[in-house]
A and B are shown apart, each in its own frame.
Chain A
Amino acid sequence: MTTQTTPDDSALTKNGLAPSGDGRVLLLACGALAREILDLKQRNGWDHMDLTCLPAILHVHPEKITDAVRDAVAKHRDAYATIYVVYADCGTGGLLQAACEELGVEMVPGPHCYAFFDGLAAFGNRDEVTAFYLTDFLVRQFDSFVWKPLGLDRHPDLRDMYFGNYETLVYLSQLDDPALVDLAQQHADRMGLAFEHRKSGYGDLETTLQGWAKR
């Protein structure tokens, strides 16, 4: 059996992660979830589940996610008994859900990864209209996923046009890492937002994968 090691964030952002080729079940995930899924796989001994990731940078191009998932399902379908899509809606406006239904594959419910990390029920009940969420991956990759795509490295004066209606940056942490908390606080300062840290752990990602692993 091949053990998959987590590539660095830069590789996950641009290239994603190739499957190891072991296991009858394939988890087709966003690159931003690779570290968390590999950790869960290792801790739970889910050797029958292989992981492949699409480039995490699709997060900032949600209009490309559905086709990328379609292509990946088509590419890997023959090599696995079952494929699960470890994406939430992720800004596809229901198109990913429709595509998954058409392809006969299951996906993670909910609007975004930060919602399932928080727990869908809790997230829905919070009704935090003015919160901007970051996960561990997004804290680490803040410049690549937030600051630069919004042009704030070149035009910092646009900051309030983007974030003027937000009030709080909520960091939903998966790991207990003080350095990441500090970094998230710095991001909040740059955005001109108040800061809140919540230790979410893996939330519904873990329970969803547990359910799939048992089938």
Chain B
Amino acid sequence: MSDEEDDIILSELNDEELVQQMFDDLYDGLKEEIEEGVNILLERKWEPYRILTEALVGGMTIVGADFRDGILFVPEVLLAANAMKGGMAILKPLLAETGAPRMGKMVIGTVKGDIHDIGKNLVSMMMEGAGFEVVDLGINNAVEAYMDAIKEEEPDILGMSALLTTTMPYMKVVIDTMVEMGIRDDYVVLVGGAPLNEEFGKAIGADAYCRDAAVAVETAKEFMSRKHNQLSA
């Protein structure tokens, strides 16, 4: 970082400059700077939801696009996500208080036999950033854990993640159980993870395969929009 950049005092920037600087800071994974930026915008009476969408999600959208284009790689995305998480931690309680719009609800978890959660955590965070309520079941979830959670939480969407070739077939076990219970069509089922692909998603009966967190958010929004249209028809 140059000396000039070192001299930037966030509180002296106007709103537009500050948001742009937060985009840069998110890109560079600077958690403390993001937390400071969020606090400054709150002091300037920005609504928490506006900070979330314009500054944080806006910045992460750039990160996601550059990841997809091969400009950024997993470590940089993780640092950016960690910075966003810092900002989210400040905003989350305020979002509940200020009645931010709710897009829908998602239950998400990594499947049985799989302990990998980086992708799932990114999806959770970006879904929250997009206004979804997310119930994260964590890692290594048996079918019973998913069934209990959807019964208890009544989500719109069930998300399943797997990183291993050996564990990804378990997604079908969960979907088949939903079919047997006659509840499959009550939920949108989204699946993701490095070894998955479109064909696999179709073969196991998921509604969609999402190749990254940004696609998961867009897909979830699309399904929620369809659901609302069906309800209002």
A63 vs B211: C-alpha distance when bound (angstroms):
12
Q: B113: CB under 8 A from chain A?
A: yes
Of the stretches B32-40, B115-123, B181-189, the one at the interface is B115-123
Residues of A within 8 A of B114 (CB): 129
How distant is A204 from chain B, measured CB to nearest CB, in Å? 15
A91 & B165 in contact (Cβ 8 Å cutoff): yes
Known: A89-B165, A93-B165, A93-B197. A150 touches B74 (CB 8 A): yes
Q: Mark B32-72, 1 if CB is under 8 A from A, else 0.
A: 00000000000000000000000000000000000000000
How distant is A90 from chain B, measured CB to nearest CB, in Å? 8
Residues of chain A from 109 to 146 with CB closer than 8 A to chain B in the complex: 111-112, 127, 129-130
How distant is A153 from chain B, measured CB to nearest CB, in Å? 9
B194 & A91 in contact (Cβ 8 Å cutoff): yes
How many interface residues does B have (CB within 8 Å)? 24
B195 & A91 in contact (Cβ 8 Å cutoff): yes
A155 vs B80: C-alpha distance when bound (angstroms):
12
How distant is A55 from chain B, measured CB to nearest CB, in Å? 18
How distant is A5 from chain B, measured CB to nearest CB, in Å? 33
Known: A89-B165, A166-B115. A154 touches B195 (CB 8 A): no
Residues of chain A from 80 to 115 with CB closer than 8 A to chain B in the complex: 89, 91-95, 111-112
B165 & A150 in contact (Cβ 8 Å cutoff): no
Interface centre among A91, A93, A152 (most CB of B within 10 A): A93
Q: A179: CB under 8 A from chain B?
A: no
Of the stretches A23-31, A34-42, A157-165, the one at the interface is A157-165
Residues of A within 8 A of B139 (CB): 165
B79 & A94 in contact (Cβ 8 Å cutoff): no
Interface size class for chain A?
20 to 34
Name A165's contact: one of B76, B117, B165, B200 (CB within 8 Å).
B117
B79 & A92 in contact (Cβ 8 Å cutoff): no
A111 & B118 in contact (Cβ 8 Å cutoff): no
A93 & B79 in contact (Cβ 8 Å cutoff): no
Q: B75: CB under 8 A from chain A?
A: yes
Q: A19: CB under 8 A from chain B?
A: no
Which residue on chain B has the smallest CB distance to residue A155? B75
B164 & A95 in contact (Cβ 8 Å cutoff): no
Residues of A within 8 A of B115 (CB): 129-130, 165-166
Q: B10: CB under 8 A from chain A?
A: no
Q: A151: CB under 8 A from chain B?
A: yes
Which residue on chain A has the smallest CB distance to residue B194? A91
How distant is B140 from chain A, measured CB to nearest CB, in Å? 6
Known: A93-B200, A162-B118, A165-B115. A151 touches B75 (CB 8 A): yes
Chain B residues close to A by CB (< 8 Å): 73-76, 78-79, 82, 113-118, 139-140, 164-166, 168, 194-197, 200
Chain A residues close to B by CB (< 8 Å): 62-63, 89, 91-95, 111-112, 127, 129-130, 150-152, 154-155, 158, 161-162, 165-166
